Amino acid sequence: MEIRTLGCAPYLPTYQAMRDFTAQRTPDMPDQLWICEHPPVYTLGLAGQTSHLLAPGDIPVVPTNRGGQVTYHGPGQVVAYPLIDLQRAGYYVKEYVYRIEEAVIRTLAHFGITGHRVASAPGIYVRLDDPHSHERLAQRPQKGAGGPGSTPDFTGLGKIAALGLKVSRHCTYHGVALNVAMDLEPYARINPCGYAGLQTVDLSTIGVHTTWEEAADVLGKQLSIRLAP
């Protein structure tokens, strides 16, 4: 996989470039991983409801064709866009989501933080009272729990990484955003991922002080490992 670090990149041109890359792909083109951060922007998924935009103010709102509801991108966040041919890689979308989440969990572990999955709520979460705790969540995905239509339980948790994906002709774009050291105030102006009151955190607010570059490097390496065929 070719890793491209784009630095601070405006959202709309990056979004269009992903669509163009995917539309022009041929079976022999290598996969790529784009890593960047964006100036402040709210993005709406295909199911996005404007009612979840509480007070966007001067932050632009961009409708997109990814899955999910509304989320925020801004400085201090590592955004990773895997451009993967799933048919060639040999796994399906559900496995792809699991692998991305696993890459985030391993990235957090590098910084001494335990990341958790929550049933029916894609993304990665941390315990607010003890981000280092390895105790398993009652809310974790497990047999007979969760599923379409069920309400996730975010009690005691903060969201530190969000996923929003699109697959076209077996090829992926959009991706995952990991919060490193951000101004988190814009999250208070939306219902993050469509959930009223969901607390959003970053590494700095749970006691991890690192650079955007280090976090981007670790996440990029983990994604390249976990998304391999």
144 pLDDT higher than 80: no
pLDDT in tens, 174-221: 999 999 999 999 999 999 999 999 999 999 999 999 999 999 999 999
pLDDT in tens, 31-62: 999 999 999 999 999 989 999 999 999 999 99
Please tell me the predicted confidence (pLDDT) of residue 43.
98
Please tell me the predicted confidence (pLDDT) of residue 151.
86
Identify the burial level of 208 via C-beta atoms within 10 angstroms of its C-beta, where 0-12 means exposed, 13-18 middle and 19 or more buried.
middle
Catalytic residues: 193
**Cα–Cα distance measured from residue 86 to residue 171, given in angstroms and rounded to the nearest whole number:** 6
For the chain, what is the mean pLDDT? 95
143 pLDDT band, cuts 50/70/90, is confident
Amino acid occupying residue 17: A
10 pLDDT band, cuts 50/70/90, is very high
12 pLDDT higher than 60: yes
Please tell me the predicted confidence (pLDDT) of residue 150.
75
Residues contacting 148, CB < 8 A, separation 6+: 120
Residues contacting 176, CB < 8 A, separation 6+: 79, 80, 100, 103, 104, 161, 162, 163, 223
pLDDT in tens, 84-134: 999 999 999 999 999 999 999 999 999 999 999 999 999 999 999 999 999
Q: In the chain, what are the domain boundaries?
A: 2-226
Please tell me the predicted confidence (pLDDT) of residue 149.
59
pLDDT in tens, 146-163: 555 578 999 999 999 999
Strand duo 2-8 + 32-37: pairing: parallel
CATH of 2-226, one of 3.30.930.10, 3.40.190.10, 3.40.30.10, 3.30.450.90: 3.30.930.10
Please tell me the predicted confidence (pLDDT) of residue 209.
94
The rounded percent of the chain whose pLDDT value lies above 90 is 94
